[in-house]
Amino acid sequence: MARMDAIVALDIETTGLDSQRDAIIEIGAVRFKDHRVEAEWDTLIHPGCRIPPFITQLTGITDQMVLKAPPIEIALPELVQFVGDAPILGHNIDFDISFFKKFGFFKHNTLLDTYEMASVLLPTASRYGLGALAQELGVPYEERHRALGDAHTTRRVFLRLIDLALELPINLLAEIIRLGEGVEWNGYYPFRLVMRHRSGELVRAEDVKHAYQGPLFSAKSPRGIEPLRPVENPTPLNVEEISALLEPGGDFARHFPNYEYRREQIQMLKGVAQALSKGEHLIVEAGTGTGKSMAYLIPAAMWALQNQRRVVISTNTINLQDQLINKDIPDLRQALNLKLRATVLKGRSNYLCPRRLEHLRRRGPGSAEEMRVLAKVLVWLLDTSTGDRSELNLNNSAERWVWMRISAEDEGCTTENCLKKGGICPYYRVRQEALGAHLIIVNHALLLTDVAMNNRLLPDFDYLIIDEAHHMEEATTNALSYQVTYADVQRLTQQLGSPKHGILGSLLNAAEHHLDALQFASLNEHIQILTDKAFRFEQRAQQFFNAVAEFLAEQRKGEEIGMYAQQVRITPAIRTQPAWFEVETSWEETELSAKPLLEMLAKLVQGVGEILSRLPEEDEELFSGLSNIYRRLTEFHDQIGALVFKPDKGKIYWMQVNQTGNHLSLNIAPLHIGNLMERYIWHEKTSVIMTSATLTTAGAFDYLRGRLKAEEAIELSVGSPFDYETAALLYLVDDIPEPNDRQGHQRELERGLVQLCRATGGRTLVLFTSYDQLRRTSRAIQPILAKEDILVFEQGEGASPHSLLETFRITERAVLLGTRAFWEGIDVPGEALSVLVIAKLPFDVPSDPIIAARAETFEDPFYEYSLPEAILRFRQGFGRLIRTQHDRGVVAIMDRRILAKKYGQYFIDSLPRCTLQIGHLADLPRFAARWLNL
């Protein structure tokens, strides 16, 4: 343990998150030196206002408790005396200190932050919340959300993180300290402490240069993998022979002791094998429990091996990709003794670029975010062998922006450049693996982005399997959408810099040694003018975004934004409003400043390209950096020019500002993706198989066919092997107010959930369509169920959906409240999830710009668009309950529209045949307990 001077760990509880409007209600501080606690100080604070109920629920601090507590002005002098000039430690310490700085205190104390430390030392941790870190590091976490308890936990986490820092290679530690000098970063001081402890160790300059070397850089290049050599005339698969692999007594039954024969799985396998053999397109819906992954993997693997033809498998979620590459494909190899090569291929931005990392490392970080990400990546490189960003926790948009600057998402990142680095580029390596792989696993976004870019990302392929196909339209829409904020524009101009900093400054420094005096003077003058034009453009862009903000404010007619973000779709009617004229005028001025800037940038990019061979290798990044800025600014100019003046009929345009009004974005999305699917998928590929558990509405594929232009595909629907009539009770509540009676529905929902969860002892997942209703429900039922020792877990309270699900899974008496992330893709077999409640039928918000625009393309928008979409999501939600042959549970629908509206029967008809019970809300707990044999 590093010897250190006294440090004060500090934590506060507050009435909210805004240091200017909210107030402190409790302060806790612990002075410690090494592992020894020297003193404690804590007090409740009278905030001068009522404590919000959810804060009381979170902390246990009530209005009554602070009634006789001192106000902050009385308590502060004693705290200041306790702290003195000692360094102050906290978790997200800037938040705590912001509440004191308005009183003029702690402006000069050194700040230490366990969040910053953990971000670097635990680069792959799923969460950096205090409780999550305590669990990760094995330190006790008592009295959560009480100031003194949290201060002690912060102290313990800090000491464990110091121990981890002590284990870093000395050269890497020296590198982090060198990079952190001159940057305002609350993680710097702890690393200095550790270095002081290890000051006797020798740090050689030549070793620091290679401080980040690890498995990634020592792994061999896959250049030895032979690319596939397709058979000229493919041989059809022997369908019966392949089917026999899954029959009782077949290879799978012999290899897996607990193997279960499923007739539906073999039915699907035969359909896929025939589609591949005949070069046909197939849409196949496979019910829960079918084992669809293996039903398409077996024929895909056999086809690829037999004919040396690669098969691409596209999924929507990372979880399914991980399942395929880490479990299903290894199982397939072992069971059938196959020499099958498979790899996961992602978009370029997912992979680290060693060349761009080296450039940032030499230039040094210019902000706390850059420093945090750079140090995080250097520590991560001690262990990673992939360079895949999915291993990293990039915690916010600022960190993700920094990652983009060191990723392979760069025109200068080419195979040739990778080879100069010895083939160590992660993207180059996985590309080489893909060339020799029989199966390539991608996600939907990469698949459609690739076809839209004329196959620049994936190797050529003719055979495609799309799993989780019900997400195809949404994923493609997201991949082909454009969003921009003023902050994005500002980052680009700041990154461009001036003659003294940024890319332009680095370019001048590099060119000074490689150009004659006349050439250098000309370049210097060009950059001076370019800097001025960039400054003018940034000012005009700011004025343009201000004009958009004023337009949005006028649309609100002076009212607050409210609970949800304000979204205004830019329609012909909007463009005729007088206020829109101000937006157009402001954009014209922005465009006038953008054109000369882009012209000068283009000339500079061309000029640097011409002298690139005369620059040192390490300065090649300047060219790619300039190229990226030019490309992004050109994209901004073209996209927003279309949004304001030249809208494309095939695009959706809208403006959006968040609830607090501090994040305004302009957005563009494709109106249809079906034409893209038709042109690049159905007409280009020899065989396409689309599959999911939910592709039909009311038993028909018509809706999906229309959305994805899948008219030529053969249909196949295989049911679930589960006996839903025995396993699932579907309870339709007939006396709850409809959702349009907001207060009445909410009141009865809360009452019904409390009674139901009491009767079942928790074990319940409640699915909501809005986070607002989820939060209101949580606040209402949590304190009541707590008295019954039933815990309520709420999506959005810091924990990731995955960790929240794991906690729910292992907690005996628990209720989990979730929104969209929990309607599909979660798997909790057994009694841990015995009751599923659907609060409302999952209709999309009709005012959402994409929903509204697409609805207008139908003659009957509700029945042809809104209803089918809701049914597909409803079926996904229903599928969370019964996950194995032995599961038994209750699905309760708390939306009377399923009975009162004529469209309700479509929802019921889309489900497997269950035991159906229609009844009153008051009777639900009794029926549920009886069904579960409680």
Sheet of 814-818, strand order: 791-794, 814-818, 764-767, 835-838, 889-893, 728-733, 915-919
Instruction: Say how many C-beta atoms besides its own lie within 10 A of residue 131's C-beta.
Output: 17
* Pairing assessment for the beta strands 439-443 and 311-315 based on DSSP bridges: parallel
CA-nearest of 55, 71, 68 to 146 is 55
The rounded distance, in Å, linking the Cα atoms of 468 and 685 is 19
Sheet of 714-718, strand order: 342-344, 439-443, 311-315, 463-466, 687-692, 282-286, 714-718
DSSP code, position 612: G
Instruction: Say how many C-beta atoms besides its own lie within 10 A of residue 244's C-beta.
Output: 14
Q: For residue 227, give Cα distances in angstroms to 221, 308, 928.
A: 14, 9, 58
The rounded distance, in Å, linking the Cα atoms of 437 and 311 is 9
Q: Are 237 and 201 in contact (CB under 8 A)?
A: no
CA-nearest of 219, 223, 220 to 433 is 223
Instruction: Say how many C-beta atoms besides its own lie within 10 A of residue 627's C-beta.
Output: 17
CA-nearest of 33, 650, 780, 687 to 307 is 687
CA-nearest of 238, 289, 244 to 266 is 244
The number of residues making up the chain comes to: 934
CA-nearest of 463, 934, 392, 403 to 689 is 463
Q: Identify any residues that bridge with 284 across adjacent strands, giving them in sequence order.
A: 691, 716
DSSP code, position 660: T
The rounded distance, in Å, linking the Cα atoms of 297 and 341 is 13
DSSP letter string over 727-763? HEEEEEESSSPPTTSHHHHHHHHHHHHHHHHHHHTS-
For residue 95, give the 3-state DSSP assignment.
helix
Instruction: Say how many C-beta atoms besides its own lie within 10 A of residue 122's C-beta.
Output: 21
Instruction: Report, in angstroms and rounded to the nearest whole number, the Rg of the chain calculated over CA atoms.
Output: 30
Q: Say whether 210 is catalytic.
A: no
CA-nearest of 160, 184, 165 to 175 is 165
Q: Are 630 and 598 in contact (CB under 8 A)?
A: yes
Q: For residue 470, give Cα distances in angstroms to 467, 476, 664.
A: 8, 11, 31
Chain centre to alpha carbon of residue 165: 28
The rounded distance, in Å, linking the Cα atoms of 370 and 360 is 9
Task: Provide the angle, in degrees to the nearest 10, between the axes of the packed helices 620-644 and 502-512.
Answer: 150
Q: Which of 91, 145, 745, 802 is catalytic?
A: 145
What tokens were used for 634?
């050109």
Which residues have a catalytic role annotated? Answer: 145
